[in-house]
C-alpha cells in the first residue's frame, strides 16, 4: 500500500472503523483511509483477513488494528466500538460496509435467507450507528458512511432481498441524519461505479 506519513493527507488525527475491512471494497476503503492519515480499526468476521489488511496498512507506515466482529450481534458491535476507543482514544468515523448478496425472487427465497440478509445488510447498519454515535458525540461529532447500492433504487430480478435491504439502508441513513448531530450518508455503490474507480486508480483492492 502506498501510504502517507501520519499527520499528512486529508484525514490526519481521524480514527475510523471500517466493517468488512478484510476484503474487497472494505479493504480498499481501509487502505485509502490509512493513506490519508487516519488510524483504522479493520473490522471483519474473518479475523485473519482483518489482520492482513491491518498488516498492509502498518507496512505502509499507517496505524491500524484488526477487530473481529459479528455485525449482526449487538454485543459484538458494541465491543468493536469499545476496542477501537481503547486502542486509539476516540472514534470519529464509521463505514458500515459489511454485507452479503443473496439471490432469489420472492417465491424462491427462503425465510431464513431473507432474515439473514436483512440482518447483515440492514440490522448491522442500525447496530453500527447505535453504538458508534455515542462515542462520536463524546469526541465532538463524527461522520458515518453506510454503503448502499444502486439496487435500492432500481431493484433487481435476481434478488428480492438485496435491493430491499439496501433501500432500508438509504432510509435509515436519512432518518438517522435528521435525528443526530453526526453526519450520516448512504453511498449507492454499483458495479460500473466500482469498475470505473478501479480502472482510474481511485479505488484499489
Residues with a known catalytic role: 162
Q: What percent of the chain has pLDDT over 90?
A: 78
Q: What is the pLDDT of residue 181?
A: 75
CA distance 111 to 154: 23
CA distance 75 to 197: 35
The set of residues, in sequence order, having a beta carbon less than 8 Å from that of 124 and lying 6+ positions away, is 19, 71, 72, 77, 96, 98, 99
Contact 25, 51 (CB under 8 A): no
Task: Tally Cβ neighbours within 10 Å of residue 158.
Answer: 13
Q: What is the pLDDT of residue 195?
A: 43
Q: What is the pLDDT of residue 155?
A: 87
Domains and CATH numbers, the chain: 15-199 (3.40.50.720)
Q: What is the pLDDT of residue 137?
A: 95
Q: What is the pLDDT of residue 189?
A: 64
Look at strands 39-44 and 183-189 and give their pairing: unpaired
Residues lower than pLDDT 50 in the chain? 1-7, 191-205
Amino acid at each position: 500500500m502506498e501510504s502517507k506519513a501520519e499527520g499528512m493527507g486529508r484525514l490526519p488525527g481521524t480514527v475510523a472503523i471500517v466493517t468488512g475491512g478484510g476484503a474487497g471494497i472494505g479493504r480498499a476503503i481501509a487502505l485509502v483511509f490509512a493513506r490519508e492519515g487516519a488510524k483504522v480499526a479493520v473490522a471483519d468476521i474473518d479475523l485473519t483477513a482483518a489482520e492482513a489488511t491491518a498488516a498492509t496498512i502498518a507496512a505502509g507506515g499507517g496505524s491500524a488494528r484488526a477487530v473481529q466482529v459479528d455485525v449482526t450481534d449487538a454485543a459484538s458491535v458494541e465491543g468493536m466500538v469499545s476496542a477501537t476507543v481503547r486502542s486509539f482514544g476516540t472514534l470519529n468515523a464509521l463505514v458500515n460496509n459489511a454485507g452479503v448478496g443473496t439471490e432469489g425472487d420472492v417465491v424462491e427465497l427462503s425465510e431464513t435467507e431473507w432474515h439473514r440478509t436483512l440482518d447483515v445488510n440492514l440490522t448491522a447498519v442500525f447496530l453500527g450507528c447505535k453504538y458508534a454515535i455515542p462515542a462520536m458525540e463524546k469526541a465532538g461529532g463524527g461522520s458515518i458512511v453506510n454503503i448502499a447500492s444502486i439496487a435500492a433504487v432500481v431493484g433487481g430480478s435476481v434478488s428480492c432481498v438485496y435491493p430491499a435491504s439496501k433501500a432500508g439502508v438509504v432510509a435509515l441513513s436519512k432518518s438517522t441524519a435528521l435525528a443526530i448531530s453526526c453526519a450520516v450518508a448512504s453511498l449507492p455503490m454499483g458495479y460500473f461505479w466500482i469498475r470505473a474507480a478501479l480502472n482510474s486508480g481511485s479505488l484499489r483492492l
